[in-house]
Chains A and B, each alone.
Chain A
């Protein structure tokens, strides 16, 4: 193998179709040594498909793959591993029933025989220490018992571990989605260190800031094709957004001022996190958009779920005045019904009102879905098509239609824009604001500052407690970050 070849990866004219959908229409991609390539694009642009092909988990229909200058005829996962290509997938790829050390062994067939457990434990511990100092993870703990953020740290660290074959290329598909900004920074700093040692990295992220700051070169994909590739320095946020093909370019300005002053409308939600001991509580008035901020996994989702449960059963510490609907961020596991049509997926939350007599009327159901398709612009030729025929962003829109079409006056959103392209985001922000003006109350958990700027009021969470209560005019990224970290600094 030619170790000195400049290009680690050369993909030429890669094509891939799934049924009638053309996921990749002849893509070229090259990654050279010592380079971090940022890969951006909308959902359904083909990024993940391309990376799956590069990792060997999907076979390309046509095109050539060459690694380290050598064309690969029969490319497979095993072959990719042998050649030092590692991939951290969007969904976590750890076995919850194995220990951290055992999970490290899964990636390294060469760790076997007596003492394999110790060897694997040492391997992963050293890497964790290097990337995430003070990670506090024991290599003997069962992965399933760890919180999701730690699991993502293990997974990332595992991808960088080396036994026999050196790691040449690490593909990181949304690696920071469950990490807070502190850990995300450590990870991205490690990526920079790793590539100076002669490795390479492909980083996929919807956080354009990460891409602009940490990558050397940016490749933009749209509709299964590469539409732009240039030095990172040549891109600005605005240029990235326009190249990706957002329907409305540019950064969202702050929502128009002039929303109702706090207190002039009735209180719709009062909720206290279980761990809150100082009597602080979250309050949401009618027509307000209330943000739940803080580092990922600090009790925001828990509180939303508590409020959701309180709608069905009286719960201590929570008072709500109206029906509640929840929009999940994880579409696949918490949102869609994969065997159903788009119309059925939209109608299920309002099914009681779609009946004639005791029986559900398919006619009413279709008309209901049609009205929402027009209102929220779901792109589909036929609402009777399966929900999976929609792109990710449009599936998320269907979930918004499900919640907003219901009788619920309070809408809980659990980071619903996770992995949604920017065009859809901008449309949905506008929709949320107009629904709030019409008197709906929104509780919005998000980790993105940009989204918090749509909120009238923001509560910052830390360790399962509300630690700050910011009015819109007090809101700033510095304040949110400061409140999220305060304890760590003081104690």
Chain B
């Protein structure tokens, strides 16, 4: 029993769940237990979006130093607009709209990868410049209009089964799938190998470029889906709907126990980290602090976690 506990505590993701629990307890102590359950179900619903972007960012970051997808917010914003416009408020077009968001996301993934591959530039700058362009496309495509989602789609993103959001259940299943993809498939192994040493991976016969390409497509696709779901959940698309998910996705990866220097990833931790961050904001809201303080606290928590975790590779 004791050794089981020790093994559990040595897992990098445990701390994120402990943090989430702590924040939740602090919040319900403040409210004298009022709304404890609601907080969790609202937390689960909101965490879904960070977790989806977190999975995307995790695969990208695991590819190694310099790999990060900075185009996620722009991608989400554009996809939300595309999905809502294609659905046009009609329930019968939901599938088509989702498909359009997915295509938009994958297209962005292709664009990102082409920039990285053709120009041989660090992914961080490729996705950054891509995000400029995507923003402009989004502005001229969406014209700042907020289009409402079809009622069926809005319903789907918020419906609960016994107090648990359907979307959260679906995302848990999805993340399980991604855990298998990461640890038990050739693709996942390739990502982990490239993250440790791309040159050694190439010389060991791994299809480095194909793996990299697929990873950026995956990230783009997940961003696209996330954009459509967000538009449904918040009852309308907007270009800045994804803004907070850049920091959130990276924070989830870091807090969830994935190595930022690449080669080591952890899917389980994403949920703990997602809940932690969402509940932290909920807690600050129940305390009634201003937006400025919320920003500062969020920033400090992320810095605190990364500094406490420290870098794995000794200098």
Q: Do chains A and B touch in the complex (CB under 8 A)?
A: yes
Q: Which of A1-9, A107-115, A351-359, A464-472 contacts B (4 or more CB under 8 A)?
A: A351-359
User: B212 in the interface, Cβ–Cβ < 8 Å?
Assistant: no
Q: Are B184 and A335 in contact (CB under 8 A)?
A: no
Q: Are A337 and B193 in contact (CB under 8 A)?
A: yes
- Contacting residues, chain A, for B201 (C-beta < 8 A): 337
Q: Which of B203-219 contact A (CB under 8 A)?
A: 203-206
Known contacts A351-B186, A351-B189, A359-B180; A337 and B199 CB within 8 A of each other: no
Identify the closest chain A residue to B189 (Cβ): A351
- Contacting residues, chain A, for B203 (C-beta < 8 A): 308, 326, 328, 334-335
Identify the closest chain A residue to B195 (Cβ): A339
User: A37 in the interface, Cβ–Cβ < 8 Å?
Assistant: no
- Contacting residues, chain A, for B197 (C-beta < 8 A): 333-334, 336-338
User: A406 in the interface, Cβ–Cβ < 8 Å?
Assistant: yes
Q: Are A337 and B196 in contact (CB under 8 A)?
A: yes
A417, chain B: closest CB distance, angstroms: 17
Known contacts A359-B184, A360-B189; A339 and B200 CB within 8 A of each other: no
A180, chain B: closest CB distance, angstroms: 25
- Contacting residues, chain A, for B180 (C-beta < 8 A): 359
A352 to B185 alpha-carbon distance, docked (Å)? 9
A359 to B206 alpha-carbon distance, docked (Å)? 17
Identify the closest chain B residue to A361 (Cβ): B184
Scoring A residues 319 to 346 as 1 if CB is less than 8 Å from chain B, else 0, what string do you get?
0000001101000011111111000000
Q: Are B185 and A339 in contact (CB under 8 A)?
A: no
A358 to B188 alpha-carbon distance, docked (Å)? 12
User: B224 in the interface, Cβ–Cβ < 8 Å?
Assistant: no
What does DSSP make chain B's interface, helix, strand, loop or mixed?
helix
User: A377 in the interface, Cβ–Cβ < 8 Å?
Assistant: no
User: B85 in the interface, Cβ–Cβ < 8 Å?
Assistant: no
Q: Are B199 and A334 in contact (CB under 8 A)?
A: yes
Scoring A residues 403 to 429 as 1 if CB is less than 8 Å from chain B, else 0, what string do you get?
000100000000000000000000000
A358 to B183 alpha-carbon distance, docked (Å)? 12
- Contacting residues, chain A, for B200 (C-beta < 8 A): 328, 333-337
What does DSSP make chain A's interface, helix, strand, loop or mixed?
mixed
Q: Are A337 and B185 in contact (CB under 8 A)?
A: no
User: A348 in the interface, Cβ–Cβ < 8 Å?
Assistant: yes
User: B264 in the interface, Cβ–Cβ < 8 Å?
Assistant: yes
- Contacting residues, chain A, for B199 (C-beta < 8 A): 333-334
> Which of A335, A340, A349 has a CB less than 8 Å from the CB of B205?
A349
A335 to B204 alpha-carbon distance, docked (Å)? 8
Query: Chain B interface residue count: which class?
Result: 20 to 34
- Contacting residues, chain B, for A360 (C-beta < 8 A): 183-186, 189
User: B97 in the interface, Cβ–Cβ < 8 Å?
Assistant: no
A242 to B201 alpha-carbon distance, docked (Å)? 37
Scoring B residues 244 to 260 as 1 if CB is less than 8 Å from chain A, else 0, what string do you get?
00000000000000010
User: A217 in the interface, Cβ–Cβ < 8 Å?
Assistant: no
Q: Are A358 and B185 in contact (CB under 8 A)?
A: yes
Known contacts A333-B200, A336-B200, A337-B263; A348 and B193 CB within 8 A of each other: yes
Q: Which of B256-270 contact A (CB under 8 A)?
A: 259, 263-264
> Which of A325, A326, A334, A338 has a CB less than 8 Å from the CB of B196?
A338
B208, chain A: closest CB distance, angstroms: 10
User: A402 in the interface, Cβ–Cβ < 8 Å?
Assistant: yes
Q: Are A359 and B196 in contact (CB under 8 A)?
A: no
Q: Are A402 and B184 in contact (CB under 8 A)?
A: no
Scoring A residues 443 to 455 as 1 if CB is less than 8 Å from chain B, else 0, what string do you get?
0000000000000
A360 to B205 alpha-carbon distance, docked (Å)? 17
Identify the closest chain B residue to A402 (Cβ): B204
- Contacting residues, chain B, for A336 (C-beta < 8 A): 197, 200
- Contacting residues, chain A, for B204 (C-beta < 8 A): 348-349, 402
B183, chain A: closest CB distance, angstroms: 8
Identify the closest chain A residue to B264 (Cβ): A339
- Contacting residues, chain B, for A351 (C-beta < 8 A): 186, 189
Identify the closest chain A residue to B207 (Cβ): A312
A429 to B199 alpha-carbon distance, docked (Å)? 26
A333 to B199 alpha-carbon distance, docked (Å)? 7
Identify the closest chain B residue to A335 (Cβ): B200
> Which of B205, B206, B259, B263 has a CB less than 8 Å from the CB of A325?
B205
A333 to B263 alpha-carbon distance, docked (Å)? 15
- Contacting residues, chain B, for A325 (C-beta < 8 A): 205
B16, chain A: closest CB distance, angstroms: 20
- Contacting residues, chain A, for B259 (C-beta < 8 A): 339
- Contacting residues, chain A, for B184 (C-beta < 8 A): 359-360
B124, chain A: closest CB distance, angstroms: 19
- Contacting residues, chain A, for B185 (C-beta < 8 A): 358-360
Q: Which of A16-62 contact B (CB under 8 A)?
A: none
Identify the closest chain A residue to B180 (Cβ): A359
Interface residues of A (CB under 8 A from B): 308, 325-326, 328, 333-340, 348-349, 351-352, 355, 358-360, 402, 406
A sample of 27 cross-chain residue pairs with beta-carbon separation below 8 angstroms, ordered by A number, consists of: A325-B205, A328-B200, A328-B203, A334-B197, A334-B200, A335-B200, A336-B197, A337-B197, A337-B200, A337-B201, A337-B263, A338-B197, A339-B192, A339-B259, A339-B263, A340-B192, A340-B196, A348-B205, A349-B205, A351-B186, A359-B180, A359-B184, A359-B185, A360-B183, A360-B185, A360-B186, A360-B189
7 A-B pairs besides A337-B196, A352-B186 with CB distance below 8 A are A328-B203, A333-B197, A333-B200, A334-B197, A340-B193, A349-B204, A360-B183
